[in-house]
Amino acid sequence: MDQIMALFADPTVWAALITLIVMEVVLGIDNLIFISILTNKLPEEHRARARALGIGGALIMRILLLFTLSWIVALKEPVITLFDKGFSWRDIILIAGGLFLVYKATKEINHATESHMDKDVHETKTPPKPVTNSITAAIAQILLLDLVFSIDSILTAVGMTDHLPIMVIAVLFAVFVMFVASAPIANFIAKHPSIVMLALGFLLMIGMVLIAEGFGAHIEKGYIYAAMGFSAFVEALQMFRRKQSGSAH
């Protein structure tokens, strides 16, 4: 206890904690977008439960990984060599997760565009019934991506501080923010079709970034999130314009 009190008496520890909390919350956005899109395809009565289980799984994975830091750090050691390039387990996991995200986002974009085309062809006034997934399949996919995002999150934490209590607090805070924000974000995405397409575009970009990082390319995350933020700002302007046009009529 005295060691923890002495740790938090150091101002640099507080600076590291605040910085790490911000980083963990930002990194959690990717996970939250995926959870929102996937759970919105479930029957409405199962969505809240699936989100809670998915975010709970993310918390458990992050905490378990924090207490196996030596194993996590070892994941960066090359295990196979292809075309004169060494690949670690972290690289393999990032590539696999990126490919899954690209596949899932492409599939959802294809479904969204085909549904829209079918609606135009048949000129029906009845909105198409959303495709639903089983809650088990949805949770399994969420947990799979939780693992990928958790490893990325914990490696970021390891790179910023050596103090385990700081990492645990930052992870707990970030997952709490995810839990609080999950329902409003999921509901907002469900009510605005254009936001769905934008979010799928984000997932496609995140998947490509994961693949690139798995092959050794370093992409500054700040550029990625700045692009996402600017796209969201433009979409917000478009929504405001459509709302103003609708109220004018």
The DSSP element (H or E) to which 86 belongs, if any, is strand 85-88
Report yes or no on 123 lying in a domain.
no
Question: How far, in Å, CA of 32 to CA of 10, rounded?
Answer: 33
Total domains present in the chain = 1
**Domain contains 121:** no
198 lies in a domain?
Answer: yes
The terminus-to-terminus CA distance of the chain in angstroms comes to 65
Per-residue pLDDT tens over the stretch 4-57: 566 556 677 677 778 888 877 877 888 888 888 888 888 888 888 888 888 888
Residue 62 lies in a domain: yes
Angle between the 164-191 and 44-66 helix axes, to the nearest 10 degrees? 160
- Residue 82, phi then psi, degrees to nearest 5: -130, 130
DSSP states of 14-69: HHHHHHHHHHHHHHHHHHHHHHHHHHTTS-HHHHHHHHHHHHHHHHHHHHHHHTTH
248 pLDDT band, cuts 50/70/90, is: low
Strand partners, 78: 88
Domain span at residue 201? 2-102+131-248
Q: Please indicate, yes or no, if residue 118 is contained in any of the structural domains.
A: no
Task: Report if residue 14 sits inside a domain.
Answer: yes
pLDDT tens-digit readout, 179-234: 888 888 888 888 877 788 888 888 888 889 889 988 988 877 777 778 888 888 88
Question: H-helix or E-strand containing 122?
Answer: helix 89-122
Q: Which has the closest alpha carbon to 14: 150, 175, 165, 177?
A: 165
For residue 148, is it within any domain? yes
> Which range, of 115-119, 132-136, 216-220, 236-240, averages the lowest pLDDT?
115-119
Are 51 and 45 in contact, with CB atoms under 8 Å apart?
A: no
Q: Cα torsion at 180, 184, 185, 190 (round to 10°)? A: 150
Residue 119 lies in a domain: no
